[in-house]
Amino acid sequence: MTDASAGRLVHRRPSGYQQSMAARQKKSNAPPAGTSARSAQSARSASGADDRSDGERADRSGTSRSSKTVAKATRHAEIETKLEIAPETPLPDLTGRRKLASAGVATAAEPLTFRLDATYYDTTDLDLLRSKMTLRRRTGGTDAGWHLKLPAISGARTEVGLPLAAGEPGEVPAELADLVRGAARGRALRPVARLVNDRTVRHLLDADGRTLVEIADDHVQATPLDGRPTEPSQWREVEVEIVDGTVDQLSVTVDLLIAAGARKASSASKLARALAVPTRAPARRSRAAGSAVINALGRQRDMLITADRGLREETDVAVHDARAAARRIRAMLTVYAPLFDGRAVPDLRSGLRSLGSTLSAARDLEVAQRRLLAQLFDEPEAYADPARSRLHEAFGGRAATARTQIAALIDSKAYLHLLRDLDGFVDRPTLSRRGQGAAATELPDLIGGAWLELRELADVALADPGNVPAVHKVRKSAKTMRYATEAAIGALGSDAVVFASALEEIQETLGEFHDAGTAAAFLAEFALEDRTAGVAGFTFGRLHAFEQAMAHGAFDEFSDAWDRVEDGDLVAALER
């Protein structure tokens, strides 16, 4: 604690581990400010020079790095509903509708017509489409250009746009190609379909003439570009999108169109319909142990691909999300390895271990920096300011190195092959005899085996609290068990939920032990560097002592949590 009014330093002693940790973590884990959707378009600069080797460029055929590409990419969020309607069915007149008026719609503008001609790009295996992305170059209309549509988050899809000049036909702009490289699994992008669309646009306006909702009535003709002679397919669909309106206004509009004969679209995108790609059905709850695990692996594979895009854009949560997905996949492959035959499991685990190591180095820096900066709130400014500046400097250089290492990793052949191998494992698993057995029998048995290993590790750590490597082994093992157990919740039900929650408590207390120890280690390292002046070094010493106290408190909490888990007989409940 400090006497801030007098600017005096006084002894800092945690007044109870839980209260101290909660207060500090509340400061350090504050979420980043949110961003608006369509009303606040953001932009990122187009990619510049590429200093990768020729070998690393091998999978970039069909991309453009022209020096003409100087425009910035635009972004906006799309909240829309897709409908189908028979070609001959007229759309209703939406002027003067009582339901629309009650929702704030005053009138409908005169219709506008456009001819849109779009070429869609993907890999031969349609990796972008399977990752719920579409990439096109489209002429005609008011927004001609290159458009990359990203998966929906909270009901809104993000569209990234570049002008037509960013890339000639057949040459995907490098900025977009780089962004989807992980989703493409490093494979080349090529034209896969051409869609010609006669579009009639109707805008619903408020009393001030502001566009609230856009209704796009599309008559589509689609031709696959796979080299085979194919008759174009034709259909009609209606897209209803919020512009400056509300979800209620969108819903009322959709209801009126459905009442006039429209229905929900049978395909998630025009491209999927053009290529006759069926909509992926939700994974069914499987009674076979291997299939249950594969379903969970597929979900985490998709999370990893989403996080990959964030890593390429260096978003705030990308390292955390990518590391979490990689760890969950590796945990399942560790605990449930006997459910599968062949070399795939150890090979995948090896690749995921390398990925996790690189991501963990960056994540440890993020957590430690946020943690230590938050602690400076409790110091007089005369001490906090020099320490804060030194922390920013020391962590900044290391963080830049970590980002460079991540960028190199996610563009490496080994990483891109890992993504392909993971796809192959999820799509074409080789189940062992146990993998074909009942999930209700096999999964608890494998969890029970992992539990016995965890108990042995915990006995060693509890017998010698100073044995830090032993404590870390318990933390990693508990995390592995938790992730594996959470993957089995669909098959095992509420008992798995209870056990996973108990394991999470162990993981969190030892996670605090790890974070405190890591922060203390960074402080000791920084203190020895020539650039750490006296005041900053003195303050680092105070923070170091506090982190050591936090680590001791965390270990005590772990000991108590372990007793609760061990006494609860939770593993036995899974086997009943």
Question: How far is residue 267's CA from residue 193's CA, in Å, rounded to a whole number?
Answer: 16
- In the structure encoding, which two tokens stand for residue 4, read together? 């801030």
Residue 568 in this model has a pLDDT that exceeds 50: yes
Predicted local confidence at residue 219, as pLDDT? 97
Question: How far is residue 349's CA from residue 326's CA, in Å, rounded to a whole number?
Answer: 9
Residue 36 in this model has a pLDDT that exceeds 60: no
Instruction: Give phi and psi for 103, each to the nearest 5.
Output: -90, 0
CB-count exposure of residue 431 (10 Å: 0-12, 13-18, 19+): middle
Indicate the CATH number of 289-574 among 3.40.50.880, 3.50.50.60, 1.40.20.10, 1.25.40.10: 1.40.20.10
Predicted local confidence at residue 156, as pLDDT? 86
Residues near 59 by beta carbon (within 8 Å), at least 6 away in sequence: 181, 186, 187, 188, 416
Give the mean pLDDT of 557-563. 93
Q: Which residue has the higher pLDDT, 242 or 281?
A: 242
- In the structure encoding, which two tokens stand for residue 207, read together? 């009393």
Amino acid at 341: D
The least confident of 44-53, 59-68, 99-108 is 44-53
Helix axes 17-28, 534-567, angle to 10 degrees: 120
Q: Which residue has the higher pLDDT, 153 or 288?
A: 288
DSSP code, position 384 = H
CB-count exposure of residue 78 (10 Å: 0-12, 13-18, 19+): middle
CB-CB contact of 189 with 123 (8 Å): yes
Question: How far is residue 65's CA from residue 42's CA, in Å, rounded to a whole number?
Answer: 22
Predicted local confidence at residue 465, as pLDDT? 87
Average model confidence (pLDDT) for the chain? 87
> Best-predicted range by mean pLDDT among 71-75, 311-315, 568-572?
311-315
- In the structure encoding, which two tokens stand for residue 73, read together? 């990419």
Residue 150 in this model has a pLDDT that exceeds 50: yes
Indicate the CATH number of 56-274 among 1.10.579.10, 2.40.320.10, 2.60.120.260, 3.40.50.2000: 2.40.320.10
CB-CB contact of 217 with 54 (8 Å): no
Question: How far is residue 461's CA from residue 301's CA, in Å, rounded to a whole number?
Answer: 33
CATH 2.40.320.10 residue ranges in the chain? 56-274
CATH 1.40.20.10 residue ranges in the chain? 289-574
- CA 159, 164, 166, 172 torsion: positive or negative? positive
Residue 21 in this model has a pLDDT that exceeds 70: no
Paired strand residues for 213:
204, 242
At residue 54 the predicted structure's pLDDT band, cuts being 50, 70 and 90, is very low
Predicted local confidence at residue 149, as pLDDT? 95
Residue-level length of the chain: 576
Predicted local confidence at residue 154, as pLDDT? 73
Query: What confidence tens digit (pLDDT) does each residue in 203-255 have?
Result: 999 999 999 999 999 999 999 998 887 889 999 999 999 999 999 999 999 99
At residue 313 the predicted structure's pLDDT band, cuts being 50, 70 and 90, is very high
At residue 284 the predicted structure's pLDDT band, cuts being 50, 70 and 90, is low
Provide the whole-model pTM. 0.84
At residue 268 the predicted structure's pLDDT band, cuts being 50, 70 and 90, is confident
Question: How far is residue 289's CA from residue 433's CA, in Å, rounded to a whole number?
Answer: 10
Query: What confidence tens digit (pLDDT) does each residue in 530-551 have?
Result: 999 999 999 999 999 999 999 9
Question: How far is residue 442's CA from residue 263's CA, in Å, rounded to a whole number?
Answer: 44
Query: What confidence tens digit (pLDDT) does each residue in 357-416 have?
Result: 999 999 999 999 999 999 999 899 999 999 999 999 999 999 999 999 999 999 999 999
Torsion angle (degrees, nearest 10) of CA 242, 247, 248, 251: 70
Q: Are strands 233-242 and 80-84 parallel, antiparallel or unpaired?
A: antiparallel
Q: Are strands 63-64 and 172-173 parallel, antiparallel or unpaired?
A: parallel
